[in-house]
Structure 1
Amino acid sequence: MTSTNDRTLAARLPQCDIVALLLDQHATIKELFAQVESGQGDAKQEAFDQLRALLAVHEVGEELVVRPVAERTAGEKEAKARNEEEADATKVLKDLEKMDVSGPDFDRAIAQFKQAVTDHASHEEAEEFPALLENCTEEHRHVMGERLLKAEHLAPTHPHPTAAGKPAALAMTGPFASMMDRARDAMRG
């Protein structure tokens, strides 16, 4: 699915619908991957920093808001598989964050990571999102969307593998990690 298709489908849903918000974020993630792949120097680093921050908050939001509902609507096995993928992705993202974006190792690693993230998003779009649309009222999806935005606002902007894939750990450590990440980001930028 292209980012244009994601945005087209998202635009058909009510404002602040959880599925619309996530589809829009998926589109932005795809665009940022393209910018990282085609970028050079500072522009490449900036695109990666934006991608890293979006992926970090996006995954926290999904784990805290979507997965508990997805367990009931798409099934426990589906929700567990997505959380495991997110935990793996967080570890890779942490490794990527330590690499020099101008090196060939980074280019190889980001290409593999892009494929894993694309596969993960495809699973969500094929399994979780249709289940949410079918089994949750528009009002419930709107409330979930509001919760997602709040969770992402408080989420860390860097990967934290020890809490990834564990919603209870994220809920407990996320706000402190977020504060530290945002302070670190401010000092850098």
Structure 2
Amino acid sequence: MDTDDPKFLSELLTLRLDVMAHARAEERYEFIHIRRRADPERPASMASAVKAAEAMAPTRPHPGTESAAKNMALGPLAAVVDRTRDAVRRALGKDG
């Protein structure tokens, strides 16, 4: 759906509400369950895994990599390109 589609804003609002409800459920139920049931090392190892995944992920969307297979194949390369571009822009004082 394009941003100029008449339904875009209402669909975006629906998505926002769904994401917020999902996040609340995680915080109120799932995370509490994990803390109670998991050994103390497990949440720390899960956090490390998330940080590692974030470090390997691209910093912006790349059209054409919507499928899981393409994302897995091209994501790490796109991440290196994105992070290099971000570092160069910061070094040149062009953060925006």
Report the TM range for the smaller structure's normalisation. Answer: 0.5 to 0.7
Alpha-carbon separation, structure 1, partners of 2:46 and 2:71: 21
Alpha-carbon separation, structure 1, partners of 2:11 and 2:76: 26
> TM-score of the superposition, structure 2-length normalised?
0.58
Q: Figure out how many residues of one structure are paired with residues of the other and give that number.
A: 83
- In structure 1, which of residues 101, 120, 126 is the aligned counterpart of residue 22 of structure 2? 120
Deviations, residues 57-76 of structure 1 (Å, cap 9, x unaligned): xxxxxxxxxxxxxxxxxxxx
Distance 1:120 1:178, change over 3 A: farther
Q: Secondary structure at the match of 2:28?
A: helix
Deviations, residues 35-90 of structure 1 (Å, cap 9, x unaligned): xxxxxxxxxxxxxxxxxxxxxxxxxxxxxxxxxxxxxxxxxxxxxxxxxxxxxxxx
Identity %: 24
Structure 1 residue 125, shift from structure 2 partner: 2.1
Partner of 2:51: 149
Partner of 1:138: 40
Alpha-carbon separation, structure 2, partners of 1:131 and 1:154: 28
Alpha-carbon separation, structure 2, partners of 1:156 and 1:173: 10
Structure 1 residue 126, shift from structure 2 partner: 3.2
CA contact (8 A) 1:155 1:175 kept: no
CA contact (8 A) 1:99 1:106 kept: yes
Larger radius of gyration: 2
Structure 2: which 5+ runs fail to align? 87-95
User: RMSD over aligned Cα, in angstroms?
Assistant: 3.5
Q: Which amino acid aligns with 1:162?
A: S
Alpha-carbon separation, structure 1, partners of 2:25 and 2:66: 21
> TM-score of the superposition, structure 1-length normalised?
0.34
- In structure 1, which of residues 151, 167, 174 is the aligned counterpart of residue 72 of structure 2? 174
1:111 aligned onto 2:13: yes
Partner of 1:99: 3
Partner of 1:162: 67
